[in-house]
Structure 1
Amino acid sequence: MTNADIKPVQNPQIIFREEFDDWAILFDPDTGEAYGLNPTGAWVWKLLDGKNSIEEICESIRGAFSDVPAGSPAEITTFIDELVEKGFAGQDVTPHGTG
């Protein structure tokens, strides 16, 4: 499975609140857990719609932000994995040739 096959999706129960300067907070009303997002994290969150692969999310970030480090795809994958682990997001896996 590659990053082109994984299309992360937001947990619809999670509340997304944008703060100042593009920072944001995710809040799970069931657990009371909150998670702070920097501007890049908030950008990623908005793209977790089940339509964008991790690869496409990385491309979007490279287009939107300057000075994106070469290791950003791995960091973005780790960030999304953390969101999944905490229950804020899930991963929709599309078989090759169907998505």
Structure 2
Amino acid sequence: MKPKLTVMFREEPDRTGFLFDMDSGASVVLNRTGCFLWKLLEAGTPPGELPGKLAEACGGALPPSAAAETEAFLNSLRLGGWIGEQGGTVTAPPGAAAGNTSPFPAK
């Protein structure tokens, strides 16, 4: 899973954050755990490794439901259109057909 190219992430000083989709104008607020997981996705961490990375960050002490909750978070990102399969459903920004990978159209 990879974030769509048109999704911007901003982390706030309190380590919460939000996502903004430049195509649709949709936004979603992330708590600290959501921000942590989002940054791992941006870095290319495979979804199956997310619960282990979360456990490492928390000193290994996670409730038994953590893996299921992480999968639920990923499912909500998938259903919301925030992430897609690698190499498949990632939406390119305007102008990408001309080789422009910026979210702004080529001049």
Shorter-chain TM range is 0.7 to 0.9
Radius of gyration: which is bigger?
2
Q: Percent identity?
A: 31
Count of matched residue positions in the alignment of Structure 1 and Structure 2: 86
Which residue does the alignment assign to 2:71? 77
| Cα distance per residue 1:3-51 (max 9 Å; x no partner) | xxxxx21111100011121101000111111111111100110111484
Which residue does the alignment assign to 2:20? 27
Give every structure 1 segment of 4 or more consecutive aligned residues whose post-TM-superposition deviation is greater than 4 Å: none
Q: Could you list the runs of 5+ residues in structure 2 that have no partner in the other structure? A: 88-107
Whichever structure has more strand as a proportion of its residues is: 1
Q: TM-score, normalised by structure 2?
A: 0.72
Task: Describe the shift of the 1:39–1:77 C-alpha distance in structure 2 as closer, same or farther (beyond 3 A).
Answer: same
Paired AA for residue 70 in structure 1 = P
Q: Which has the higher contact order (CA 8 A, sep 6+)?
A: 1
Contact 1:55–1:73 under 8 Å retained in 2: no
Q: Could you list the runs of 5+ residues in structure 1 that have no partner in the other structure? A: 1-7, 94-99
Q: TM-score, normalised by structure 1?
A: 0.77
